[in-house]
Amino acid sequence: MKLEEFYKKNKLKEGNLIEITFENEKISGTIIPTNSKMLTLKFSTGYNAGFDIKKIKNVKILGQSKSVGKIEKQKIKKNPNLPTISLLHTGGTIASRVDYRTGGVYASFDGDDIATMFPELIKTTNINSILVSNMMSEDMNSEHYKKIVNAIEKETKNKIKGIIIGHGTDTLGYSSAYLSFALENCPLPVILVGAQRSSDRGSSDAAMNLVCAAEFIKKTNFKGVAICMHNSTNDDYCAILPATKTRKIHSSRRDAFKTINDTPIALINYKTKEIKWIKNKKKFENQNGKFLIKNKFEKKVGLLKMHPGINEKLIDFYKKEKYKGLIIEGTGLGHTPTGEKEVFIKKIKDLIKSGCIVAMTSQCINGRVNPRVYSNARILSNLGVIYCEDMLPETAFVKLAWLLGNYSKKEAEELLAKNLREEISDFSRVNVFEH
Amino acid sequence: MKLEEFYKKNKLKEGNLIEITFENEKISGTIIPTNSKMLTLKFSTGYNAGFDIKKIKNVKILGQSKSVGKIEKQKIKKNPNLPTISLLHTGGTIASRVDYRTGGVYASFDGDDIATMFPELIKTTNINSILVSNMMSEDMNSEHYKKIVNAIEKETKNKIKGIIIGHGTDTLGYSSAYLSFALENCPLPVILVGAQRSSDRGSSDAAMNLVCAAEFIKKTNFKGVAICMHNSTNDDYCAILPATKTRKIHSSRRDAFKTINDTPIALINYKTKEIKWIKNKKKFENQNGKFLIKNKFEKKVGLLKMHPGINEKLIDFYKKEKYKGLIIEGTGLGHTPTGEKEVFIKKIKDLIKSGCIVAMTSQCINGRVNPRVYSNARILSNLGVIYCEDMLPETAFVKLAWLLGNYSKKEAEELLAKNLREEISDFSRVNVFEH
């Protein structure tokens, strides 16, 4: 049955507030226009989702809700006098008109869609719209990372001012770290943009984040990878955030992304479009090294958070599965339990002996790990556990997988706790013991 | 060889700045007085640590450092006119004169030690000093939790105003959550206190945190479990923090403990000793329910953080090990990868079928999980994954282990996402979608 037939059979119209019943749940929302085969509902929270009509057991009309606009495409022409930005779509809330459960089939991110969704963006910019993937970011993995890097490489050969990547927010921080490592001496700006509210909601942050990213690309000579998201819950500033030191620290707020152990790079005033640099802009604008793409990722790398009573057999798991790297998210300054008769320490020793690089970060998130303060950490450090300074656990995980993909084990060990892409702050600059 | 002989042989004096060489490392620091068998050094960071002299290969005197005081015991008498507080010692930096690697042998936490270490504390309070354990908190597990609860139960039978628990900071948040669940309708204040700098450092927070906890106990009729730590990096206020909604979010700062999705309960002005309530004090002072101790903890409960490309066999691990509970630290609003051919989802389904309770929290830390926004989470929720609202992952882990220890599986499932000890905020009060 097609969606039109489903509408007809159940006497539904776009804009109806309905309740649909599945085998195990009831869901209510307002029918919104869609190009997909799925029944698409907007919830009272403002989020949209698509539903397979074959699985719907019953439909009840709760009432005529406020009317919703049709998707009317605007035809746009490129203006040779405007700068061009390539917009790579990977999915996520920022593109949430589309139903993700259908795969890429119904996605049609051409320039016309962008014009409809973000008219402000196309007024001052030519947009090359490229579909890389179409997924919620919790499903992103290294195969998708590679695709994104390949798409970026292709775009760098075109006459463009920069690249914006639309990305789901769940794992945006992991992806930004990967791109940062994979694109050595990136010759143009690559700005990841997400949204915490879908673009068809009144409170959506999608348009502002995109427009600010485009303004930053147009008005500066920034080179490298960064993130552009709301700086606060107000619609006043967006922040350009460092790709390796930023984390999603709120599940729903629009200013969910914050730098950890670092500061934003710059702010963009949404009203005046002025750029206010926080970090020294020369550092980002004067970068002229040879552009190298290192696009390999070792899949046998894990990230394991410690907790009281954690089972030491988990360490065996990584040994049995022949892991090449493991980032531990320890407690405090970088600790694991010792375990009864030091069994936990022994398991880590065995894992290292098996050839796996084991490294330490902190579940405190903020601050630096330090193996010199308490004896437990000194033992781990002496076994060969690499202490990752003030690197985020997520960035350390991505970095180790990237290092093991592109370098020898020895090089990976040497480079892990060395600063390559601003993922480690200078200890003398941010002295954690001075607080 | 005894420490005195080691000093003599190497011509060392207390106060000497020395460098010691081990098989794989060199460490330098100032020799400080100790009652232990270990050579005890103060590092330039201000932390102390003890070293086994048998393992030292070489010693080099770098110079005479500033002189350090001797530990001189003060003899104190209890004053019947002062209120009495029981101080339970479990270890950690707050008691860091003691060397932890030696076990409990050298610990001597009697009232005289307290007088020496915290003279301000004993001026206005009689202290019952009780040694429960002596360890860094990364080694704490449910057996220690039970001991602490037993010690608290014993103390509640004495004529005391309240209890302070000295605790290592690494897992203080996990312990405070456990005590909160285990002590139902606790009839007196139980305040956990840690320190980020050892008590013999100039910048130590130990004394102020202890004194503020004692002031709060003496000046209020607070009942229940809470944490007392520095409110900022200044020495102006300590905060009384809710036991189930507080997390160590910095590896080294003195104000490392912050409430998540909540506010502090009260502030204590260190100078004036005034109490400023932030939450409604009636709620904490008028609690009169029957005091029940529920002191069981199911060890087969895990906490697993998601990351891109996470191995689905980790879910099998918990099934094979016959786990009864697993808290997932998902991405964003509470997501896991779907996995190729939905394998990740299927593994979770199998784990639930095996009898394990699986529940969801967010690695964003701040904010609420919600299974109704995106289809991926809806699938998990329909499989029976319990979404833990705005509970901290660490609190959810402790709560599930406590529920499975003290209730039936069915009751545990029902109670996990229900608010029992202020671990879940009222949704209408903290509406995550309003930001």
Residue B413's closest CA among B353, B334, B357?
Answer: B357
pLDDT band at A75 (very low <50, low <70, confident <90, very high): low
Q: What is the pTM of this model?
A: 0.86
CB spacing of B49 vs A330 below 8 angstroms: no
CB spacing of A366 vs B251 below 8 angstroms: yes
- State the smallest CA–CA distance between residue A115 and chain B in angstroms: 26
| Active-site entry in A170, A200, A255, A390 | A170
d(CA B32, CA B49): 10
pLDDT (tens digit per residue) in B322-346: 999 999 999 999 999 998 889 999 9
Q: Do residues B347 and B354 make contact, with C-beta atoms less than 8 angstroms apart?
A: no
Buried b (16+ CB within 10 A) or exposed e, B141-163: bbebbbbbbebbeebbeeebbbb
CB spacing of A170 vs B27 below 8 angstroms: no
Lowest mean pLDDT among B132-136, B138-142, B369-373: B132-136
pLDDT at A315: 98
B-interface mutation test, from A24, A172, A252, A388, most B Cβ less than 10 A away: A252
- State the smallest CA–CA distance between residue B249 and chain A in angstroms: 4
Q: How far is CA B57 from CA A105, A382, A413, B20, in A?
A: 68, 15, 27, 7
Tell me which residues of B are annotated as active site: 93, 169-170, 248
Q: Is pLDDT above 70 for B380?
A: yes
In chain B, which residue's Cα lies nearest the Cα of A101?
B375
Q: How many CB pairs under 8 A join A and B?
A: 215
Q: Is pLDDT above 50 for A394?
A: yes
pLDDT at A92: 75
pLDDT band at A41 (very low <50, low <70, confident <90, very high): confident
Q: What residues of B are in contact with residue A366 (Cβ under 8 Å)?
A: 249-251, 253
> How much is the average pLDDT of A402-430?
90
d(CA A52, CA A42): 15
In chain B, which residue's Cα lies nearest the Cα of A26?
B372
Q: Is the dihedral of CA B72, B73, B75, B80 positive or negative?
A: positive
pLDDT (tens digit per residue) in A124-151: 899 998 888 877 889 999 999 999 999 9
Q: Is pLDDT above 50 for B90?
A: yes
Q: Do residues A195 and A93 make contact, with C-beta atoms less than 8 angstroms apart?
A: yes
SS (H, E, C) chain A: CCHHHHHHHCCCCCCEEEEEECCCCEEEEEECCCCCCCEEEECCCCCEEEECHHHCCEEEEEEECCCCCCCCCCCCCCCCCCCEEEEEECCCHHHCCCCHHHCCCCCCCCHHHHHHHCHHHHHCCEEEEEECCCCCHHHCCHHHHHHHHHHHHHHHCCCCCEEEEECCCCCHHHHHHHHHHHEECCCCEEEEECCCCCCCCCCCCHHHHHHHHHHHHHHCCCCEEEEEEECCCCCCEEEEEECCCEEECECCCCCCEEECCCCCCEEEECCCCCEEECCCHHHHHCCCCCCEECCCCCCCEEEEECCCCCCCHHHHHHHHCCCCEEEEEEECCCECCCCHHHHHHHHHHHHHHCCCEEEEEECCCECCCCCCCCHHHHHHHHHCCEECCCCCHHHHHHHHHHHHHHCCHHHHHHHHCCCCCCCCCCCCCCCHHHC
Q: What residues of A are in contact with residue B253 (Cβ under 8 Å)?
A: 366-367, 432, 435
CB spacing of B249 vs A335 below 8 angstroms: no
Tell me the one-letter amino acid at A232.
S
| % residues pLDDT > 70 (chain A) | 87
In chain B, which residue's Cα lies nearest the Cα of A320?
B313
> How much is the average pLDDT of B395-410?
98
Q: What residues of A are in contact with residue B22 (Cβ under 8 Å)?
A: 382
Q: What residues of A are in contact with residue B198 (Cβ under 8 Å)?
A: none
| Mean pLDDT of the residues in chain B | 88
| Active-site entry in A42, A248, A258, A399 | A248
Residue A401's closest CA among A326, A292, A314?
Answer: A326
Out of A309, A321, A433, closest to residue B46 by CB: A433
pLDDT at A46: 56
pLDDT at A287: 84
B-interface mutation test, from A297, A307, A322, A392, most B Cβ less than 10 A away: A307
Q: Is pLDDT above 90 for A426?
A: no
Q: What residues of B are in contact with residue A171 (Cβ under 8 Å)?
A: 308, 331
pLDDT at B67: 44
CB spacing of A432 vs B374 below 8 angstroms: no
Q: Is pLDDT above 90 for A64?
A: no
* Residue B330 Rama label (left phi>0; alpha psi -120 to 50; beta): beta
Out of A47, A308, A335, closest to residue B141 by CB: A308
Residue A203's closest CA among A253, A167, A165?
Answer: A253
- State the smallest CA–CA distance between residue B335 and chain A in angstroms: 6
* Residue B48 vs residue B372, higher pLDDT: B372
- State the smallest CA–CA distance between residue A57 and chain B in angstroms: 16
pLDDT band at A307 (very low <50, low <70, confident <90, very high): very high
- State the smallest CA–CA distance between residue A184 and chain B in angstroms: 22
pLDDT (tens digit per residue) in B96-131: 554 333 332 334 456 667 777 788 888 889 999 888
Q: Is A93 a catalytic residue?
A: yes
| Mean pLDDT of the residues in chain A | 88
d(CA B91, CA B111): 16
pLDDT at B26: 80
CB spacing of A364 vs B256 below 8 angstroms: yes
Residue B355's closest CA among B412, B399, B395, B303?
Answer: B412
pLDDT at B50: 72
Q: What residues of A are in contact with residue B27 (Cβ under 8 Å)?
A: 372
Tell me the one-letter amino acid at B50.
G
Read off the tokens for B394: 């660490």
CB spacing of A321 vs B335 below 8 angstroms: no
CA B7 to chain centre: 37
CB spacing of A332 vs B368 below 8 angstroms: no
Q: Is pLDDT above 50 for B382?
A: yes
Read off the tokens for A323: 């892991």
| Active-site entry in A30, A34, A90, A93 | A93
Read off the tokens for B362: 């967010």
Q: What residues of A are in contact with residue B308 (Cβ under 8 Å)?
A: 140-142, 171, 174-175
> How much is the average pLDDT of B66-86?
69
> How much is the average pLDDT of A43-54?
71
Out of B252, B302, B306, closest to residue A333 by CB: B252
Q: Is pLDDT above 90 for B72?
A: no
In chain B, which residue's Cα lies nearest the Cα of A334?
B251
pLDDT (tens digit per residue) in A195-242: 988 766 667 898 999 999 999 999 999 999 999 999 999 899 999 999
Out of A138, A142, A368, closest to residue B331 by CB: A138
- State the smallest CA–CA distance between residue B181 and chain A in angstroms: 16
Q: What residues of A are in contact with residue B313 (Cβ under 8 Å)?
A: 317, 321
Q: Is pLDDT above 70 for A279?
A: yes
pLDDT (tens digit per residue) in A90-105: 877 776 554 333 332 3
Buried b (16+ CB within 10 A) or exposed e, B287-323: eeeeeeeebbbbebbbbbbbbbbbbbebbebbbeeeb
pLDDT at B47: 61
> How much is the average pLDDT of A376-405?
96
Out of A138, A303, A376, closest to residue B136 by CB: A376
- State the smallest CA–CA distance between residue A37 and chain B in angstroms: 16
